[in-house]
């Protein structure tokens, strides 16, 4: 019960990586607020959290909508009066074409979800995180935010900006005992990537990379959540099997 008595917020927590992290934190004793756009999915996750003996709350939210993000944090303050861990997991790539062949509206949507969603929730959660004796922000990044690649510029740019935001916030918040770090999962099989990856197979273009399941991120997510105030901040922790920096 490494997280007993703490409150965690996981965005994009209705499925995939977010669901795995939310349930893992609940098993370690944390109360968990699960946020996503699909009510049915977040309700199902919080039912599992409650069955584990922790308190789960499900909230429907569009992370690219600043007022939605504010409403979630206001609800957390009302229900718990505290927040210790924020996992900015909501994101995804929607535009896998070259610039000039892409849809500008979809390109912008990728930026809004991945970057602005991370910024909105981080900014809104700061007052509660500063009240914690050990606040932690964990951003789910990507190796594509560290290396250029053709045909997915919106996602590359969004995740590159998330990595820069991670480092900037780590420098701004360390005196408030808030650590800000990034996890690079490497390729993970989820509903969003099932058209690209196959379960149990290697990456189609990178033979060194094994395609992970969402639960494979649990150890690193718990490691960062249980770090003490003098632990790492401004760091990128990669599960990739290739250089990403």
| pLDDT single digits (tens) 2-36 | 999 999 999 999 999 999 999 999 999 999 999 99
Nearest CA to 186 out of 152, 148, 145, 142 is that of: 142
| pLDDT single digits (tens) 161-201 | 999 999 999 999 999 999 999 999 988 877 666 666 666 76
| pLDDT single digits (tens) 43-91 | 999 999 999 999 999 999 999 999 999 999 999 999 999 999 999 999 9
According to the model, what pLDDT value does residue 209 have?
A: 77
With bands split at pLDDT 50, 70 and 90, how would you rate the model's confidence at 243? confident
- Whether residue 206 is predicted with pLDDT greater than 90 in this model: the reply is no
Supply the mean pLDDT for the chain: 93
Is-contact 150 95, C-beta < 8 A? no
The answer to pTM > 0.85 is: yes
According to the model, what pLDDT value does residue 149 have?
A: 86
Output phi, psi for 139, to 5 deg: -100, 130
DSSP track, 2-61 = TTTT-EEEEETTTSHHHHHHHHHHHHTT-EEEEEES-HHHHHHHHHHHHHTTS-EEEEE-
| pLDDT single digits (tens) 80-104 | 999 999 999 999 888 888 999 999 9
The residues facing 188 across adjacent strands are 212
Report the distance separating Cα 165 and Cα 15, nearest Å: 25
According to the model, what pLDDT value does residue 197 have?
A: 64
Share of the chain above pLDDT 90, in %: 81
According to the model, what pLDDT value does residue 94 have?
A: 81
* Catalytic residue of the set 25, 119, 120, 155: 155
According to the model, what pLDDT value does residue 211 have?
A: 86
- Whether residue 136 is predicted with pLDDT greater than 90 in this model: the reply is yes
DSSP track, 123-181 = HHHHHHHHHSSSEEEEEE--GGGTS--TT-HHHHHHHHHHHHHHHHHHHHHGGGTEEEE
Is-contact 188 217, C-beta < 8 A? yes
According to the model, what pLDDT value does residue 188 have?
A: 86
Indicate if 155 belongs to the active site.
yes
According to the model, what pLDDT value does residue 201 have?
A: 64
**Domains of the chain: residue spans and CATH:** 7-188+215-238 (3.40.50.720)
Interior CA angle at 130 toward 217 and 183, to 5°? 20
């Amino acid at each position: 019960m490494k997280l007993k008595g703490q409150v965690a917020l996981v965005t994009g927590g209705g499925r995939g990586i977010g669901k795995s992290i939310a349930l893992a934190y609940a098993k370690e004793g944390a109360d968990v607020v699960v946020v996503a756009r699909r009510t049915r999915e977040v309700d199902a996750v919080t039912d599992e959290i409650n069955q584990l003996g922790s308190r789960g709350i499900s909230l429907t939210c569009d992370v690219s909508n600043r007022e939605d993000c504010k409403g979630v944090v206001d609800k957390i303050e009302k229900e718990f009066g505290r927040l210790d861990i924020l996992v900015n997991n909501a994101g995804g790539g929607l535009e896998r074409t070259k610039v000039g062949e892409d849809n500008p509206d979809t390109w912008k949507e990728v930026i809004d979800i991945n970057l602005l969603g991370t910024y909105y929730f981080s900014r809104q959660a700061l007052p509660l995180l500063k009240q914690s004796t050990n606040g932690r922000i964990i951003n789910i990044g990507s190796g594509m935010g560290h290396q250029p690649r053709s045909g997915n510029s919106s996602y590359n740019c969004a995740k590159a900006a998330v990595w820069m935001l991670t480092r900037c916030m780590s420098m701004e918040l360390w005196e408030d005992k808030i650590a800000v770090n990034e996890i690079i999962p490497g390729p993970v099989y989820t509903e969003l990537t099932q058209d690209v990856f196959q379960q149990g197979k290697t990456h189609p273009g990178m033979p060194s990379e094994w395609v992970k399941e969402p639960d494979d991120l649990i150890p690193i997510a718990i490691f960062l959540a249980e770090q003490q105030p003098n632990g790492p901040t401004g760091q990128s922790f990669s599960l990739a099997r290739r250089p990403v920096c």
